[in-house]
Amino acid sequence: MIDSLIHSNKAELTQSAKNGSPVVLSTRVRLARNLVDTPFPGRASKSQRSDVLTKCVDRIAELPQMKQGLFFDTAELSDLEKQVLVERHLISRELCEAESGSGVFINKDQTCSVMINEEDHLRIQFMKTGFNLRSVWKQIDRFDSSLEDGLDVAFSQEFGYLTACPTNLGTALRASVMMHLPGLVISEHMDKVIRAVNQLGITVRGLFGEGSDATGHVFQISNQQTLGESEEEIMSRLGSVFKTIIDHEINARFKYLEQNRARLLDQIGRAFGTLQNAHVLNSNEAMNLLSLVRLAVDFEMLPEVNRSEVDRLFIECQPGHIQHAAGEGIEPDARDLCRADKVREEFARFPSLNFDKVNVIE
């Protein structure tokens, strides 16, 4: 069912024409919305949920942004297909568990997905590669306004947009960036950063959100608070925290390089060698090695075009993607062989590492 998504040559996160940026992999903004007069999904009856689904799907299908978009009913997706969509950040784990009458609408280039009857009636998400908070906000704001033109949403003057969980009340906005922070992890500063941003009402989580660990040195950083500040205030506060983290990351990288040059270059070189030659590769190892290759691109040891290839492999090396590519039902051990084959093949096309290019900051 989802083949056209996976083989699309326009998918934002895996087929971006841009070279990606150092540190920030992607930016996402999501809004939660509920229809007035129908209980939230967790408390709605089966028939109410299916009414909401029909109403929302009809409205979303009319929007120009969803031209050539695809709708998937959760009940019709296999577990593996759901896992692939989670790995592409198009649906949440919660939607996978959702009762009947739920689904997701995904636009053509996979920058926008709208989940229906997840925790709220509507969970709208826009994403883009790189650090793009403002432009992603503009897009989602426009989409949300045209959606509201045709749907009556639950809203109160006092509490703003009404959501099933009070943690999302108000703007119901969650803005997050996916950051690659090997410098802060290797120099053991990450815990300090997490504690500091937590104090500012900002959450740090692993690649796949709540409860996931930070393999590949990739972290999801987002606002926690949604009520009492406007969208602009939330985003300008977040934006300045993100910029500070980026600065700290860059400093940590160069400081580590200065003090442990041979050690760092050795790690990068061995990672590259392993990816070029391994025959068995589990997903954790693959992520951590790919992380070092991304760092190599940032240090100009590899051309910039290789960065987006690494970003694509971050997603395509996930268990669901490997299994989906190999056909259903292969064992985890066999997955590790398929993953190694894929990575070997891709890395055969990479140029060799240019160690002379690595310069210590002037």
Partner 1 sequence: MAENLKCSHCNNPATVHLTQIVNNKIIKVDLCESCAQAKGVTDPEGFSLADLLTKTNLIPEGGEPQITCPSCGLTSADFRRTGRLGCATCYLHFIPLLRPVLEDMHAGTLHKGKVPQVALSRQSAAAELQTLKNALERAISEEAYEDAAKYRDQIQAIKKSADSEAVHS
Shortest separation between residue 33's beta carbon and partner 1, angstroms: 9
Dihedral, 126, 128, 134, 138 alpha carbons, nearest 10: -40
Minimum Å distance from CB 325 to partner 1?
38
Question: Residue 227 CB, nearest distance to partner 1 (Å)?
Answer: 4
Per-residue b/e over 58-70, b at no fewer than 16 CB within 10 Å?
ebbeebebbeebb
Residue 144 or 249 having the CB closest to partner 1: 144
CB of 71 to partner 1, least distance (A): 23
The DSSP call for residue 357 is G
Residues that bind partner 1 (CB under 8 A): 34, 36-40, 42-43, 119, 141, 144-145, 148-149, 151-162, 164-167, 169-171, 173, 201, 225-231, 233
How does DSSP assign 133-151, residue by residue? HHHHHHHHHHHHHHHHHHS
Residue 57 or 153: the one with the smaller Cβ distance to partner 1 is 153
Q: Do 135 and 30 touch, CB atoms closer than 8 A?
A: no
- Given a contact cutoff of 8 angstroms between Cβ atoms, the answer to whether 103 and 74 are in contact is yes
Q: Could you tell me which residues come within 8 angstroms of residue 335 by beta carbon, excluding any fewer than 6 positions away?
A: 283, 319, 322, 323, 326
CB of 83 to partner 1, least distance (A): 25
The one-letter amino acid at 278: A
Residue placing its CB nearer to partner 1 in the complex, 231 or 249: 231
Nearer to partner 1, 137 or 272 (CB): 137
Confirm if 306 and 313 have CB atoms less than 8 A apart. Answer: no
CB of 79 to partner 1, least distance (A): 25
Angle at 81 between CA 80 and CA 86, to 5 degrees: 95
Q: Which CB atom, from 121 or from 217, has the smaller least distance to partner 1?
A: 121
Between 93 and 312, name the residue whose CB sits nearer to partner 1: 93
